[in-house]
Structure 1
Amino acid sequence: MSGENARLSLAEFHGLPVVDHPRASEGAVERASLPEAGAVAWRVGVVASRETVWEELWGEEFARFLATVDAARVRALVVGTWDSYYDTPSTEFLEAVVVARERLPSLRALFVGDIPEAPGPTWITHGRISELLAAFPALEELAFRSGEELEFAPLRHERLRRLAVESAGLPAAVVRGVGESEFPALTQLELWLGEASCGGDASVEDLAPILSGERLPALRRLGLCNSQIPDEICAALASAPVVAGLEELDLSMGLLTDQGAAALLGGQPLTHLRRLDLTHNYLSEAMRARLREALEPAGVEVRTEAGDAVDWVRFIAVGE
């Protein structure tokens, strides 16, 4: 996935089409004119612009949303720009959604930070995003784009099935917070680790609780993506207990070289996987062929499309 594609607005979330809730500036809204509340994923946001005066408040738009849809039937919510300066911390958003939790008893999926105006994930600022999981014990899917000031406190959540963090620089403390959490129902975990220049300072040691699989008994898809250290991650995955239970392993969007791919092939068997995604890599043609020859006869879908380099400089897929 390219950086540009990563910033496009969501068209679908939680298996539902994403629909923008009309903003106040668009005039009065009649409930009868809107889709059925549970049939779509609702995106609530304001216009982001550094050239205009801050005229819209996300909290006011969210209050209008709760008043004009049947909030009790809303299944999926997409949080767009929360003020006219897209890099302002999401404190207001977090507080508003948590306060409204009793009005959203059917909410099962939440995507935070669908902000195409932002230059990249690093510009999207959050606080302790794990508070959303504590507030919504029935939530099944949580995904967000983020950069600076993100926090994730360890917790136990019984119902969460998918957790995805899209970042150009995921702090090691956040990776450790996820790894120290208990998610007995989680089947999909995707972390975009990013690069050190954007705050992505997680090491293989920080990933150890995830790679052990002890707190993730139901995990079937693991993504450790957009990383500067995929070769080191592959060396750890070669003997990581979590791999045996996986159906999909995603190491795409990073700086993978032949060294990392060789470590994967030289470790525990991968023939039980349905898919191995190495898209955006820096492998030789010989190594790509070796991967396909080793895994495709067993029915594994192997994706090995190359990444881009400029003047021999290699890049992760989504930076800044």
Structure 2
Amino acid sequence: MTTDHDWYGYRNPYLREYAGLPVTQLLPEDVREPLPADHAAVAWRLSASEDGDDHDSIAESFEEFFADVDTERVRAIVVGAWEEPYETPSEQIVRILADNAGRLPALRSLFLGAIHAEEAEISWIEQSDVTPLLEAYPRLERLEVRGGGGLRLSPVTHEALRVLRLETGGLPGEVTRAVGASTLPELEHLELWLGVENYGGTTTVADLEPILSGARLPRLRHLGLQDSEIQDEIAAAVAYAPVVARLESLSLSMGTLGDAGAEALLAGQPLTHLRRLDLHHHFLSDPMTRRLTDALPGVELDLSDQARRHGAGGVEWHYVAVSE
């Protein structure tokens, strides 16, 4: 699984590898190199560009993809930038993919919006309703979406999905509620970047309760509730959440976690069964980091990126890792 750290330096981690496969960028026919012999052995990256090095439009990229690639063998697709993603929603891409599901019977992994900050900041990316992707691909195992602007999801039942990742600078509460209301019996990895209210992040702890109960997520092994400006409140809810007992790894990283949130974790249910606890980018005091380390000796504990910033009058300002 690619780590969220890769986005911090504005590097695009999906230019080289995705879903365990090397990435092949489908360039326009007049400038592309020979395509791989085995069209199932790579993840296909489709995108448009304003600099002339790529397709003029994402529709053109898809047209050449369906014309030149044996799409019946394609297992993974990475959709990068489309034209003006900060103004144009992803609706056309969702429609193309949904309408052509019959031509992609082997598709198992899909990333919509693998766009680095030099092309469009995360909060600028305009998404759309991604429900049709899950409805059109009942055998899809991995769906990842970057960008929360206009993002929508309806509750679904999906029997195959194993990984769901939503990277946003602000996750709407209605999307979080839709995730919690979905029936996902095979889901093993759920990762939500909750972001800030300023960029549409309206998710509350109450919105997370169906996820934290784990009732519709019997196979969940990793839960990431990350990048939140209410990280302490989330930690307090996680501390007593039924789903935690079945997890192998937990991430409350990238947000404003402070000593109050860590104290709640220590006072709640045991976390010693976890293989990994990721709290990187935090606002914990040194004594608290030592307490966590002492309390969880067998857990791989990520306490890197101890953030500190003071504003006027010496007041500490807590900020999330990824917002705009």
TM-score strictly above 0.5 = yes
Partner of residue 15, structure 1: 20
Partner of residue 173, structure 1: 174
How far apart in 2 are the matches of 1:26 and 1:123? 30
Cα pair 1:7 1:118 within 8 Å, conserved:
no
How far apart in 2 are the matches of 1:89 and 1:145? 12
How far apart in 1 are the matches of 2:294 and 2:130? 42
Unaligned runs of 5+ in 1: none
- Asked which structure has the greater RCO (Cα within 8 Å, sep 6+), the reply is 1
Q: Report how many aligned residue pairs link the two structures.
A: 312
Unaligned runs of 5+ in 2: 311-315
Partner of residue 72, structure 1: 72
Cα pair 1:3 1:120 within 8 Å, conserved:
no
Secondary structure of 2:296's counterpart equals helix
Partner of residue 154, structure 1: 155
How far apart in 2 are the matches of 1:77 and 1:55? 16
Cα pair 1:227 1:253 within 8 Å, conserved:
yes
Cα pair 2:170 2:195 within 8 Å, conserved:
yes
Go from structure 1 to structure 2 and tell me whether the alpha carbon gap of 1:213 and 1:144 turns closer, same or farther (over 3 Å shift). Answer: same
Partner of residue 36, structure 1: 38
How far apart in 1 are the matches of 2:8 and 2:242? 35
How far apart in 2 are the matches of 1:86 and 1:151? 16
Deviations 1:244-272 (A, max 9, x none): 00000001100000100010010011111
Cα pair 2:134 2:158 within 8 Å, conserved:
yes
How far apart in 2 are the matches of 1:102 and 1:21? 21
**What is the CA-CA distance between 1:314 and the residue it aligns to?**
2.4
Query: Is 1:203 aligned to 2:208, yes or no?
Result: no
Partner of residue 56, structure 2: 56
How far apart in 2 are the matches of 1:164 and 1:173? 16
**Superposition misfits of 4+ residues, deviation over 4 angstroms:** none
Go from structure 1 to structure 2 and tell me whether the alpha carbon gap of 1:203 and 1:9 turns closer, same or farther (over 3 Å shift). Answer: same
Aligned CA RMSD, in angstroms, stands at: 1.8
Partner of residue 317, structure 1: 321
Secondary structure of 2:48's counterpart equals coil
Go from structure 1 to structure 2 and tell me whether the alpha carbon gap of 1:305 and 1:67 turns closer, same or farther (over 3 Å shift). Answer: same
Amino acid at match of 1:302: L
How far apart in 2 are the matches of 1:6 and 1:137? 33
Deviations 1:114-134 (A, max 9, x none): 112334211111111121000
Cα pair 1:3 1:317 within 8 Å, conserved:
no
Query: Is 1:5 aligned to 2:4, yes or no?
Result: no
